[in-house]
Structure 1
Amino acid sequence: MSASTPRAVVVDDSHFMRTMLSDMLENGGVTVVDTAADGAEAVEAVLDHEPDVVTMDLQMPEVDGLEAVERIMAERPTPILMLSAHTADGADVTFEALEKGAVDFFTKPGGEVSTRMSSKEEQLVRKVKAVAGADVSGGRSSRPGGRSRSTSTTAAATDYEEGATVVIASSTGGPTVVERVVAGLPRAADLRIIVVQHMPDAFTGRFADRLDAASEYDVREAEDGARIGGGEALVAPGGKHLVVAGAGGGRLRTKLTEDPPEHGVRPAADVTMRSAAETVDGPLVGVVLTGMGADGAEGVQAIADAGGHVIAQDEASSAVFGMPKRAIELGCVDDVLSGDDVPDGVLDATKLEVNA
């Protein structure tokens, strides 16, 4: 695959959408080698053409998008971008698709579809190209296990520094990795966790619910003025920056802003990490996981400058090695770890030196 001209299969049960998506991708330098009207046709097209990327509709007759993802990942693993409805129900099904192996998703606009979709053409093309470069060869970790660490960790809370804060940045390919990381952190560590995952507003609430169910932490989507203490976690809501506005009494106070996007995204991890570096009064860990672009690099640099510990996901386990690579290039990263090893890295960074 040429980095600039990936080959794509477009899957949608609407002829209009197939045509429009194909035109948008072709205009953006993506070669559409075939289209499919349902999941069964999609599997055939992937086997016939061996594309670099598939855009996959979720709701289709006969064989739907979920089943098609499962079949493709079993028969010929291929990077898949889901096209999802911008609704809570759409979010639930989309997360299922990500668990089955899809790399990322793009929300379909409502209302006047042709007008609003055209306005998102550049964003779609950029995301398709990023997903086309994702590694789905099997080097990445398995799906989340749910409370995986709680049965093996017996450490007492006194083994960890008090008031430690962890800020996690993630984008393309990130939701399942974030879920494993948070699930791998024991409640005994008493961490304060903030997650900034590039994701639209209809999805971040559902994402917080999933993290809450998968981990020992009390996880919720952040609201303006939200406070968290040890054993709690916040997810930055789609469409707003999350700022750490104050710290005291073992708790963090946050605020939400609609300041301009950074790196083309809101929430941006850089905003949250910079504010955490300025405000947090205890041990601070910055984590940059898989994703395209450079968000998080400047933020972890600020954390490092403030004396915090920085972890980046390694290339082998990253779907898209953009954000971690940029952070590593800045020279502020303490540990480069696989996605599955990030929880241990966080715990090592927050354990007390009992033999010092």
Structure 2
Amino acid sequence: MSAAGGTRAVVVDDSRFMRTLITKLLEEGGVDVVADASDGEAAVEVVAEHAPDVVTMDIEMPRKNGIEAVEEIMARCPTPVLMLSAHADENADITFEALDRGAVDFVTKPGGEVTSEMPRVKRELVDKVRSAAAVDLNARGRSVTRTPTAQASAPAGTAGTRRPGPLPEGGTVIIGASTGGPNVVEEVVAALPREADLRILVVQHMPEGFTGRFAKRLDSRCGYEVREARDGERVGPGQVRVAPGGSHLFVDDDRADRLRLRLRGGDRLHGVKPAIDHTMTSAAEVVRGPLTTVLLTGMGRDGVDGMGAVKRAGGSTIAQDERTSAIFGMPKRAIEAGHTDEVLPAHGIAEGILNTLRN
């Protein structure tokens, strides 16, 4: 049991063994599992009864699957839900659908065997649960709330500012995000006009096996060519590359208007891989021409040092504001460190990017 004031969780899975394993891992990490459920229908009732801080949700279950349960929980008793997903293309698609329906994040489901990886699996699961429990469920609704009057009266450099003008001609944009980020990343990239000829790198904290599907989703929802990054490739105007889960993404050259990318293994940084800091810091050293970095919602401090490096190199830096951030962790720390030029709501970030490149 966790101490008073600790995170309270409900575990949902149709496998008794998996419920027992997840409960054990969470409680060893200081999370109080107050109840469990074996299917989605029971999950809705248990969540309504116990009012936990967070729910871990399996996807495939009898009576009511995980996606249906998420939708009903959000309608009846809104609670942060963390999806537990297996490594498979079909599970990746279903997991992203769960995020669309209201789930706040996902983590790879632990395997049943006890291996040397179990301490890392436990740490990742516990960190994800605590991060999910801290999510502001109202942030997504606020991100699409636009008030023309407020935008018109907002002082320069604040959320809502708009400085219309011709499209910039090229430039490099790096977007970093963690918990609550996939939907915001999609919103921002989809709002960037293809005619701006930007080179865009996205570093979204996400497990290996899911970033490829995330890239395909982005590709279908914007005018840019979006792919998962490959080691040694060059990226030019009109292209977006997503850092693969399980690898750090570096920029090691900028020649003939094309960035050369490198993928590296090595240790996790800030407990994550890919790390936003590595991509931003390497870009600050080699990118020629306008460079803008954006730090979106997420727990922790990844991206803070990278934003500082870009700012010192003369680039522009934007942080998502508290009101539209699911978790105002990474952006807040960058702001407090003095590494951000602008703080903008999710729906104003694309225009903010264009403004920095115009200027």
Residues 1-356 of structure 1: matches in 2 within 5 Å? 5-110=6-111, 112=113, 117=118, 119-137=120-138, 140-141=141-142, 159-351=166-358
Q: Any idea what SS the aligned residue of 2:289 has?
A: coil
- Give the aligned residue type for 2:53: D
CA contact (8 A) 2:179 2:327 kept: yes
Separation (CA, whole Å) in 1 of partners of 2:65 and 2:118: 22
Separation (CA, whole Å) in 2 of partners of 1:31 and 1:209: 37
Q: Any idea what SS the aligned residue of 1:120 has?
A: helix
- Deviation of residue 160 (structure 1)? 3.4
Q: Any idea what SS the aligned residue of 1:167 has?
A: strand
Q: 1:50 to 1:314 in 2, by over 3 A?
A: same
Q: Any idea what SS the aligned residue of 1:291 has?
A: coil
- Give the aligned residue type for 2:137: V
Q: Any idea what SS the aligned residue of 1:202 has?
A: coil
- Deviation of residue 89 (structure 1)? 1.6
- Give the aligned residue type for 2:13: D
- Give the aligned residue type for 1:265: V
CA contact (8 A) 1:4 1:30 kept: no
Q: 1:245 to 1:115 in 2, by over 3 A?
A: closer
CA contact (8 A) 2:296 2:325 kept: yes
- Deviation of residue 139 (structure 1)? 5.2
User: Which residues of structure 1 form unaligned runs of 5+?
Assistant: 144-155
**Cα shift readout 1:221-272 (whole Å, capped 9, x = no counterpart):** 0001111111111001111111111112211111111132211111111111
User: Which residues of structure 2 form unaligned runs of 5+?
Assistant: 145-163
- Deviation of residue 127 (structure 1)? 1.2
- Deviation of residue 112 (structure 1)? 2.3
- Deviation of residue 281 (structure 1)? 0.4
- Give the aligned residue type for 1:340: H
Q: Identity, % of aligned pairs?
A: 57
- Give the aligned residue type for 1:200: P
Count, aligned residues: 340
- Deviation of residue 92 (structure 1)? 0.8
- Give the aligned residue type for 2:72: R
**Cα shift readout 1:181-200 (whole Å, capped 9, x = no counterpart):** 11111101111000001112
Q: Over aligned residues, Cα RMSD in angstroms?
A: 2.2
Q: 1:223 to 1:322 in 2, by over 3 A?
A: same
CA contact (8 A) 2:18 2:112 kept: no
TM-score after normalising by structure 2: 0.90
Separation (CA, whole Å) in 2 of partners of 1:234 and 1:3: 44
**Cα shift readout 1:296-329 (whole Å, capped 9, x = no counterpart):** 0000101100111101011111111111111111
Q: Any idea what SS the aligned residue of 1:159 has?
A: coil
Larger CA deviation: 115-124 vs 197-206: 115-124
- Give the aligned residue type for 1:37: S
TM-score after normalising by structure 1: 0.90
CA contact (8 A) 1:140 1:319 kept: no
Q: 1:113 to 1:62 in 2, by over 3 A?
A: farther
Separation (CA, whole Å) in 2 of partners of 1:3 and 1:34: 17
- Deviation of residue 159 (structure 1)? 2.6
**Cα shift readout 1:316-344 (whole Å, capped 9, x = no counterpart):** 11111111111111101011111111111
Q: Any idea what SS the aligned residue of 2:210 has?
A: helix
- Give the aligned residue type for 1:328: I
Separation (CA, whole Å) in 2 of partners of 1:276 and 1:32: 43
